[in-house]
Amino acid sequence: MLDRNRIEFAQVSPDMAPRLMVVVDTEEEFDWGQPLARENTSIQAIRAQGAAQDVFAKHGLVPCYVVDYPIATSDAGIEILSGFLRDGVCEIGAHLHPWVSPPHDEEVTPYNSYAGNLPEALERTKLTRLTETIEANLGVRPRVFRAGRWGAGPATGRILEDLGYEVDTSVVPHTDFSADGGPCYHGFGARPYWFGTERRLLEIPQSAGFAGLLRGAGPAVYPGLASPLGMALHGPGFAARLGLLERIRLTPEGVDAAALCRLTDSLLAQGRRIFVLTYHSPTLRPGCTPYVRDRADLAGFLATMARYLDYFRNRIGGQMDTPLGIFEALHDTAKSGVSNRYSGQAGRHGAQAS
């Protein structure tokens, strides 16, 4: 999945209405400023997800909760997510945080927190156990995956294929996590692609890209701005303030609605039609992440999502979908060889905006 020479871009019609999905990293709470620890398995924030669900319901959106091991084995996680499933208002995927996922055979280090860095046998065992636990406790076998800390590796695709996954959402375009041992996604764009031995796994990258006068040169220019020297000179900040170039990720965490709209307009102009908005489930409980420290922050966070969803539906005529809905439609297109088939209604698992 990380070898750009072994992928096949998905065929998406330029006439297709823009599609938006939400993928929620559904995980335990921990202090992001402290070293990772196996003991950090509190999952109180799962009970706060209803506030976001209310926003999604108003816009006909069905989020995908990618669930990690502490959530999948907790009474609260099973209760809340099973309720959403019964009501038909969510999809369920898997999210591997290796430091809190058994077996605990590796040392807890920043390098090992990227599951793709683990020996293949250990990564496989952890993901197999997580997959089976989600199926046993939530009654649905996950088919959507996102690596914790975006940490996919050279064996991740093989493991996903063997376990029956259909969609991965681990790639963050134009982003480098290698400072503490993670993957580098420079050179990867936001366009979905097929990968795996039979090209049947669909990568739907996190929506991330560039806005500004130099947005077309962003993939070539930004790595220099984000280099150690560029960061020391505050290169990304200067370029953004001057309106030349800003890298934006489609998330309400630390990004305002205006920036989310700028990114969307820029990606639309480049021909992208499939968008992924993401956030971490603990953000819905004030004090659990840097993005929401109090109730005022939470109100602002929810308002940002609501404004963006309104913009996506009502300003650009977009529709709401899900990872599995996108997979089914693009899979049908790939089988038929018709590149413009996915230009009408949302996929069977998607929630079309009214």
CATH 3.20.20.370 fits 4-207+250-336, yes or no: yes
Give 258-298 pLDDT, tens digit per residue.
999 999 999 999 999 999 999 999 999 999 999 999 999 99
Over the stretch 69-83, which tens digit does the pLDDT of each residue have?
A: 999 999 999 999 999
pLDDT (tens digit per residue) in 148-174? 999 999 999 999 999 999 999 999 999
Domain ranges in the chain are 4-207+250-336
Lowest mean pLDDT among 124-138, 225-239, 328-342: 328-342
Residue 352 has pLDDT above 70, yes or no: no
What integer pLDDT is reported at residue 73 of this predicted model? Answer: 98
Q: Identify the band that residue 337 occupies on the pLDDT scale cut at 50, 70 and 90.
A: low
The mean pLDDT value of the chain amounts to: 93
Q: What is the pLDDT of residue 350?
A: 35
pTM of the model: 0.93
- In this predicted structure, the answer to whether residue 211 has a pLDDT above a threshold of 70 is yes
As a three-state string, the secondary structure of the chain is CCCHHHCEECCCCCCCCCEEEEEEEECCECCCCCCCCCCCCECHHHHHCHHHHHHHHHCCCCCEEEECHHHHCCHHHHHHHHHHHHCCCCEEEEEECHHHCCCCCCCCCCHHHCHHHCCHHHHHHHHHHHHHHHHHHHCCCCCEEEEHHHCCCCCHHHHHHHCCCCEECCCCCCCECHHHCCCECCCCCCCCEEECCCCCEEECCCCEEEECCCHHHHHHHHHHHCCHHHHHCCHHHHHHHCCCCEEEECCCCCCCHHHHHHHHHHHHHCCCCEEEEEEEHHHHCCCCECCECCHHHHHHHHHHHHHHHHHHHHHCCCEECCHHHHHHHHHHHHHHCCCCCCCCCCCCCCCCCC
* Residue-wise pLDDT tens digits, 17-45: 999 999 999 999 999 999 999 999 999 99
State the pLDDT at residue 6: 84
Over residues 304-315, the mean pLDDT reads 98
pLDDT at 342 over 70: no
Instruction: Tell me what pLDDT residue 334 has.
Output: 72
Which pLDDT belongs to residue 87?
A: 97
Mean pLDDT, residues 311-317:
97
The average pLDDT across 199-208 equals 96
Q: What percent of the chain has a predicted confidence (pLDDT) above 90?
A: 89
- pLDDT class of 336 with cuts at 50, 70, 90: low
What confidence score (pLDDT) does residue 170 get?
98
